[in-house]
Every structure is written in C-alpha cells, then in structure tokens.
Amino acid sequence: MRSAWWALIGLICIVPATAFAQEISSVDLVPRPHDLRVGEGAFELRESTQIAIEPILPVLDIAAYLGELINTRTGFATSIWTGVPMDSSIVLSTGLVNDNPEAFELIVSPAEIRIKGAGPGGLLWGIQTLRQLLPSAFEDRTGEQRDSWWIPAVEIRDKPRYAWRGSLMDVSRHFFSVEFVKRYIDLLSRLKMNVLHWHLTEDQAWRLEIDQYPRLTEVGAWRTEPDGSRYGGSYTKDEVLEIIEYARVRGVMVVPEIEMPGHATAALVAYPELACSDPPKEVPNDWGVFPDIFCAGKPDTFTFLENVLDEVAELFPSPYIHIGGDEVPKDRWRDCSPCQEIIEREGLGDEDGLQAWFIQRIGEHLASRGKTLIGWDEILDGGGVPGSVVQVWRDQDTVREAIREGHDVIVSPTSHAYFDYSPAALSLEQVYSFDPALGLSEEEARHVLGGEANLWSEYITEANFDLQAFPRLLAMAEVLWSGSGDFDDFKSRLENNAYPRLRAMGVRIGPEDSDVVRLNVGTDAESGEPRVRVETSVDGLDVRYTTDSTSPTTASPLVTDSTSFVEGDQIVLGVFADDEPLPIRREFSVVDHLARGKSITLQHPPDSRYPGPSPSALTDGLLGSADHRDGLSQGWWEHDMVATIDLGEEREVELISTTFLRNLRAWIAPPDTVIVEVSRDGQNWQPASKPVGRISYWVNGEDVSRENRVQWGNGRYREVVRYIRITARQDQLPDDHPGAGHAAWLFADEIVVR
Ligand code: ACM
Ligand code: ZN
C-alpha cells in the first residue's frame, strides 16, 4: 500500500529529472520505528545537497561518514558546512532531549532533512534510518548513476528497547578476513545493532596477536585439516585497531572474547606447560568440547592470562572483556595435584568451586584494569563474580537466576539466538518471537542489557555466512530495537524494503524456515518405490552430487528438476555458490521398507534444535549420515525416544532395525536400552525382543570405536503384526566423560521394518 501510494505521489507531484525520478523507497523500515508519520512529497538528494552541522567533533565524524556514504554511490561531492543551513540541506545535530542517548528524530520534508540525536549514537541511527529510505538501488555500487535520489517525507521519532544489540562472530572455528569482519560490522550498523562480540580464541584456533606470547598465533592459529592441508590465520594488532576504528565510526562496540579455562586447546598446544598434564600436540581439527583446559593450580597460568588480558585491555577500548567460561570439563582438574591443592587450601569444596575461584580472580584482575568481565552462564556455577555481566545461552530460565544474584544479563539462548542452527530448526518466526525479558518483573527486566545473535562457525565460512545470518538477523535487530510485533507485518517489510536492499548490496539471503537443501521423498506412481528429489530455496546456488562417497566438486553432476534418487542410492550432495563450495554437505541413502511413509507417533517430540526433515523423519525412507547436524536425524535430550508405527494393516515382519548416532564429543551416545514391542490391535503389546543391554563404547576416556552409527536390529524374528513400538532409553554420559552425570543426547534415524 505505502509503496504504491508513494509511487503515485512521485508521478504526480515531482517533475522527473531522470527516468528514475519517480522511484521512491517504501517506508517499510527494519527495525520498526517507534513512531513513524508519513508526510507529503519527497526530498531530492542531488549534487548541490549539503550537510549542515553543529561544530562539535563527534558530529563532524558522523557528518563525514554520511558524506562518504552519499559520495560513494552517487559521486556527489556533498560538502559539510557548519552554521546556517543552506538550501537542500541535511541538518545534523545532537540537541534532542531524551534520556536515551540513542534516541533520535528524523524529519524529511521536500525542503530539508533534519536528524537530531540525543547523543552521537542517536544521530548515527538516524542516518542509518535515512539510508533505508533511499531506493534500494542506492545500495548497488555497480548500479547506474542518477542525477537525483528521492527520499519520502516522513517524521520518525525512535529509540531502542535495549542498549545491547549484538552479534557473536566466531572467527576461530573458521577464519574470516579483515575485510569480511568489516563488512559484517557495516551490516550490523545498518540494522542499528551496536555490539560485535568477537570470539577470538577456541580449541581450534587462537586468532589474536599477543606480543608476549608469539606462539599463540604462530602455532595456535594453524591446524592440519583431515585432508592434510594447513588451515588458519590471525589478526595483527594493527588490523584489530583498523577494525575497532571502522566499527566505532558505525556505532559498533567490539567486545573481544578470550576463552578460559576451557575451549583453550589451541593455546595449550602452543604453551603446553599451562595445562594440567600433557595436552594434545596438534591443534584440533574437529568440533566439540575438549578435555584439556588451563591448569588452575599453576601460578604460571595466571601470569600468562593476566599478561594476555593486559594486552587485550590495552588494545580494545570496550569497557567489557568476555572471558568465556562455558563448557568446562573438570576431569583434568580432578586428576591434577596442584589443582586439588588449591581446592584444599582455599576451601573451595570441589572443581565447580575452583572454576568460580578462577573466574573471580580473573574478574578482579580485569577490574584493576578498568574492565568489566562478561562470562557465559556457567560462571554462575559454584558462585558468580560480583559486578560481572552474565551472557545466558543454555536456557532462558537462567536469566532470572543471574539477575537475582545481582548480575546484568545479555540474553542469547539456543532457543532463539543460535544462528549456526539450520533455519529448519530455528526459523525466522521463532527468532522474531524472542523476548529477552520473558517472564521477568519490570524491576528484573531492568537488568537485561539486551541480546545477541550467535554465529558459531563450525559449519560457517565466508561462503555461507550470509545464508546463516540472513534473514534471521533482521528479526533479531527488530526484537532488540523495537520488541517483537506482528510477524506478517514484519515479513511484508522484509519483502518491500529489507530484502531488495540486502540483495542490492550483494548479500545472499538464506531460507526463512527450511534447510538450504531440501530433500523431498515421494513415491513413484507406477512402481510404488521411493523417489527423492532435491531442491534449494536459495536462488543462485548449485547442488551437485556423487554416488561414490567422495565430496562433490564443480565437475560432479548437477542436481536438476528432473534428478531423482532411488532405493539403494548412496548420495553425497554439495552446494556451490558461483562455483565456490559452501560448507554444506548432505550424505544420505534411500531405503525402501514396510514402514516407509507409514504413520508414526512420537511420545516426546524431538528437541526443537534437531527436528529432522519432518515429523515422520524416522519412516521417511531417508537414512542420513553420522553427522547429527545434517538435518536428517532427530535428537532428544532428557527424553526417551518412544515411537509407535502403524503399518496400516497386518504384515509379516522379520526385521526391525534403528540407527542411532554416537559422537561423544558432542555428548551424543546410543541408548542405554532399546525395547521393541509389537501388537496386532494397538492395545495388547508383546515384546519383540529382550531389551538390549548397554552398548560398550567408552574405554579409559577415549571413544575407541570408529563406528559412530550404531544399528540395533533383530533379524531372527518372524511374526504378523500391525503396530510396532520402539522405546530407546536415553543414557547418562559415562563416568569418565567430561559431562559425566548429565544425560546424553539421543539421535535416531530411520526405523527400518522388513
Ligand atoms: C556456548 O554455546 N558454548 C556458549
Ligand atoms: Zn591443574
């Protein structure tokens, strides 16, 4: 409606200077403004447009940014004036009276544009709003030149709901170039997001140059990939300063994360003396939670960490430093006499107490450098750090716990903020329903600083980063700035304004609620056999396949509309953008059997993060890979899998088999017990097997088996049945596992019945 209305105004009221004169952007902004009034007419941005400012330095900076923005696309040499505004001016000032420094007022009339911020931050967000009011062609650097650009008359009064609107970029699992990091900062700023949480260290890499410990990056930034190639990279201090300055101009604070005491294998490979005992010799090239952590019992560990943090504190102007603190397996500390001596000496009780003591010590050191510690919510275990900020990720109930213990909180739960998950598991609509202050009193909610979208990069590289970030980042930006709203209205604003704008910038937008690659299983009308077709919902991607278990290359056959796979095919799919491989691999086989396509009922639905390709994933005829993230298996946590299949009629059955995944690094274990029952009427059940006992898979702390799929089957069996019920009991992680005492994840794939 609005865009049509504006097109009309353009045609009637404005004398077209060029063929594009009537092109006026929709006012469908993201994030949604607090108060928007549409006026009459439009402002013409042209060669003679000037920027008028109050002569104060932060405003001068912002004016220069706006001038450059205009010049880059239009070629107009927009000059900056202090004093009396001239004709056709954009007037910038910071005099707005509002207790929120990020508040602003943007008034566009045919005569002039006025942007007034409560502080420099507000002024900058006014400029980012103005940018969204230009036609999307303004964002296309390769587009045609025009003599003028039209901006619809509006009055906008706006301010953010939360002060902390961030995104985590994990540059450790995969490396991202300086240019790519800057590009992301620019995208964040356009959406009025103001924090880049830069995850710089991990098990798989240390990316930040530290003068006193050169081996951190010489050794710790490089790993040997399974194919033998070397992979890595790091940032020099000059590059970091360049990024910080680029972000500052765009209103984005860069908050570094230096992980401790866990997720530190790369540092321990570089400096093995900081571990409790022999750490690995090689930087890991796979994913998960690793047992080697910084030794809490050695004074050298603290000398090292304090020296590192001193360099970090000096480099980064951010008043916050994130120290991780998540997923710390305690088994090395349990076996280490210096660590045990500290527990004894300090009366810490146990290893949780030791972790709390460790983090408190680091917190005190940061405080002495004028910095506030941020840690993941595990820093609450065993007693928190006074004055620290807690970033909640495990589940949102922890938000209240952290606030009651006196902390301010950043909220980024797996349920809404883990953008490394497939959109099939975390959809755009789910992100849009995010409420960081869910269930909190008004007083409690004051301690919620805001939230973050987390882009963990095990399966993300520069090639598919956009597909994971977008469109969900638009939802996160709106939720944190404006609060959630009407989803249909949000979607129409995406279609009318945000999507064309992002595409004009060259941003690739991923699916809203499905996997990038979709497998559709149908049944051939003539033969009754399964036929699998493949599609991608993203324009411009090519899907290629192999049938010999190798990874597809650009020479492999292309999947087209007419490609289909049949019973017995073993397929590996790869996805390519402009002939560059994306880190998306799908491995599956097609199996036909009696239960395929038959009704299946699950007593507990799978965890929302691992829903599988459909509710009937266990009987869809598709058998996925051992990778639990391939979207083809379903995952349960703290629930057994109880599946009941109705074959539709009585059939003679001689085999019932299920595949379970095993990946102890990812806390996935096969079930403790599997019970199979059968029935003719769905009422009276009888066992089809004795329960299968515990499967032995964990010896002396090492997962000795190379087989990470466990098939449970019963082949010496013949009976006429209609209903089959399989109960797979979730296991506890074994005693010598870092997560001992916790439930294991249970992942199941196709239940094959023959
Ligand atoms: C986390 O996802 N381990 C913070
Ligand atoms: Zn130790």
**C-alpha–C-alpha distance, residues 51 and 67, integer Å:** 7
Nearest to 433, CA basis, from 400, 496, 475, 403? 475
Atom of ligand 1 nearest to the CA of 393: 4
Instruction: Supply the DSSP symbol for 691.
Output: P
Cα torsion angle, 218, 222, 224, 227, sign: negative
The residue-averaged pLDDT of 532-552 equals 92
Closest residue CA from atom 2 of ligand 1? 393
Ligand 2 centre to CA of 303 (Å) is 15
**C-alpha–C-alpha distance, residues 379 and 373, integer Å:** 10
Predicted local distance difference test score (pLDDT) of residue 19: 44
Atom of ligand 1 nearest to the CA of 418: 2
Atom of ligand 1 nearest to the CA of 454: 2
Give the rounded distance of the alpha carbon of 658 from its chain centre: 31
> What type of residue is 117?
G
Ligand 1 centre to CA of 378 (Å) is 10
Task: Please give the share of the chain, as a percent, with pLDDT higher than 70.
Answer: 93
Which tokens sit at 392?
A: 């909640």
Provide the whole-model pTM.
0.91
Ligand 1: residue of 289, 376, 609 to mutate (most ligand atoms within 8 A of CB) is 376
Ligand 2 centre to CA of 333 (Å) is 5
> What type of residue is 687?
P
Instruction: Supply the DSSP symbol for 201.
Output: B
Q: Which of 56-65, 390-399, 509-518 has the lowest mean pLDDT?
A: 56-65
Q: pLDDT tens digit string along 1-39?
A: 333 433 333 333 344 444 445 688 889 999 999 999 999
**C-alpha–C-alpha distance, residues 569 and 589, integer Å:** 5
Which tokens sit at 425?
A: 């598991």
**C-alpha–C-alpha distance, residues 607 and 640, integer Å:** 11
Atom of ligand 1 nearest to the CA of 391: 4
Question: For residue 743, with 0-12 CB atoms within 10 Å meaning exposed, 13-18 middle and 19 or more buried, which class applies?
Answer: middle
Helical axes 237-249 vs 178-190, angle rounded to 10°: 20
Start-to-end CA distance of the chain, whole Å, equals: 57
Residue 295 CB contacts under 8 Å (≥ 6 apart), including other chains: 274, 275, 276, 301, 332, 333, 336, 338, 339
3 state SS of 531 = strand
**C-alpha–C-alpha distance, residues 37 and 126, integer Å:** 15
Q: Which domains, from first to last, does the chain contain?
A: 2-158 (3.30.379.10), 164-504 (3.20.20.80), 514-590 (2.60.40), 593-754 (2.60.120.260)
Task: Please give the share of the chain, as a percent, with pLDDT higher than 90.
Answer: 75
HSE-up (13 A, CA, CB side) for residue 148:
21
3 state SS of 692 = strand
Predicted local distance difference test score (pLDDT) of residue 156: 98
Ligand 1 centre to CA of 197 (Å) is 13
Element (H, E) at 480: helix 472-481
Ligand 1 centre to CA of 326 (Å) is 6
The residue-averaged pLDDT of 70-96 equals 87
3 state SS of 270 = helix
Ligand 1 centre to CA of 349 (Å) is 26
Pocket of ligand 1 (CB under 6 A): 326-327, 376, 393
The band of 666, judged by pLDDT with boundaries at 50, 70 and 90, is confident
> What type of residue is 295?
C
Count of C-beta atoms within a 10 Å radius of residue 165: 26
**C-alpha–C-alpha distance, residues 25 and 133, integer Å:** 6
> What type of residue is 240?
V
Q: Which of 44-58, 424-438, 472-486, 640-654 has the lowest mean pLDDT?
A: 44-58
Nearest to 269, CA basis, from 314, 224, 299? 224
Closest residue CA from atom 3 of ligand 1? 326
Helix H, strand E, coil C: the string for 676-687 is: EEEECCCCCCEE
Q: pLDDT tens digit string along 114-123?
A: 999 999 999 9
Which ligand has its closest atom nearest to the C-alpha of 457? 1
Ligand 1: residue of 167, 204, 290, 327 to mutate (most ligand atoms within 8 A of CB) is 327
**C-alpha–C-alpha distance, residues 595 and 449, integer Å:** 50
Atom of ligand 1 nearest to the CA of 324: 4
Residue 545 contacts residue 572 (beta carbons within 8 Å): yes
